Amino acid sequence: MGAITPIGNSAVSFGRALLAGTNGVGPITRFNADKYKTRFGCEVKGFNALDYMDKTEQRKNDPYAQFALAAAMQAIEQSMPGLKGINCNRVGVIIGAANGGPQIYEQQIKEFALGDGTPRFNPFFIPMMMANAAPGIISIRYGFKGMNYSTVAACASSNIAMVDAMNKIRYGQADVMITGGAEASISEGAVGGFIAMKALSTNNENAATASRPFDAVRDGFVIGEGAVMFVLEAEEHALNRGATILAEVAGGAITSDAHHIAAPHPQGEGAASAMQLALEDAGIAAGEIDYISAHATSTPVGDMSEIIAIQKVFGNVPVHLKISAGKSAFGHLLGAAGAIGVLTGLQAMATQMVPPTINTTHIDPLIPATLPIVTGKAVPHSINTIMCNSFGFGGHNAIVICKRYE
């Protein structure tokens, strides 16, 4: 696994920061946000694209694709350094993204609008903005010739990518899949658009604690950016080449709310269905889940919809179940939200520690006190099976379940 995130630029540094309750929020620096109702976000910090590519490649790729390639390179180096013994014809790449490269799009359109009407565009304008750029450059870098595409389903994109990747291996269509999500949407248009929808927190006076999932006074999400990538592989193939196996992807499911283009179903019907189908796909009961890495973006409607869905699936919540929301620390990575949620769960499993939902101090009174939401500090917990929830505009629901590998 590899990661470029607002709280760490590797899976290891991310995991340490997450358990320490590190907060990734800061003033927006990608553009001048002085006139915006929201002036803060969770930006990637200390990232140098030249650590992963030369200047020519950097100029040809939007930050979204730069983040994706960097995270993929980390994951691939950990999993199969030198690609020894790998048949590249049997390696595919599926990456989730909500927006692709909005920064280059906005910049080029503004320059055209301010000009004399003569169309002078960057020759890399289209390749830089397209959502499928990330899997493309990863496959080109390594010569992976299996299936190669992006999944675009708003904030459920990367969980859908992971479910697709898992099934490609199950169906015998690939031995290895590079998968995950990437996003770099802290741009003038994206931030302005989310503000217009009233989706973003506008709590500029308390920006550091604005991302507060499940809190009684939550007022919207905090936009983030970054990429998280995984190497998925058939068990037999991994064992034959002596790979270190970090976890088992046990199952997953994808459903639709068929309700509203931006709001989740108020009774969590699609979300609950996805959770139940994922449990069935993994061949386990709800009572076997030890930790839920919640989608919980810190929006009033979204958080409650997820809570209602969890109640429907888990009923009388098992005493050993724990729930937390990592977006309180690293913000909402949109198309990469599912992948960073899975990474959150895998780090919890590896350390046997539940990461906290920071910033949340007063749980919404509509949320039953019996739901074990971890706030404040990380807590030790026996974790063998995790569920990662991911929901997106358009009514997309995607769940990934992972187990400790034995």
Contact (CB, 8 A) for 278 and 253: yes
Residue matched to tokens 């503004």: 110
Beta-carbon count within 10 A of 128 CB: 23
* DSSP single-letter state for residue 384: S
Residue type, 212: R
Instruction: Please say whether the beta carbons of 44 and 9 come within 8 A.
Output: yes
CA dist 244 → 166, 262, 315, 351 (Å):
18, 40, 36, 17
Q: Beta partners for 293?
A: 324, 388
260: annotated active-site residue: no
Annotated active-site residue 295? The verdict is: yes
How far the first Cα of the chain sits from its last, in Å, is 19
The residue from 265, 295, 381, 396 that is catalytic is: 295
Residue of 42, 265, 332, 388 marked active site: 332
Is residue 237 annotated as part of the catalytic site, yes or no?
A: no
**Among 291, 296, 327, CA closest to 23:** 327
For residue 141, the surrounding DSSP H or E stretch is helix 133-142
C-alpha–C-alpha distance, residues 2 and 75, integer Å:
4
Classify burial at 28, counting beta carbons within 10 Å of its beta carbon; exposed 0-12, middle 13-18, buried 19 or more. buried
| Structural contact between residues 158 and 295, judged by C-beta atoms closer than 8 angstroms | no
The rounded distance, in Å, linking the Cα atoms of 92 and 80 is 14
Query: Hey, how many other C-beta atoms are within 10 angstroms of the C-beta on 157?
Result: 31
**H-helix segments, 143-183:** 157-170
What is the rounded distance in angstroms from the CA atom of residue 391 to the CA atom of residue 278? 14
Catalytic residue (one of 42, 155, 388, 402):
155
Tell me which residues are annotated as active site: 155, 295, 332
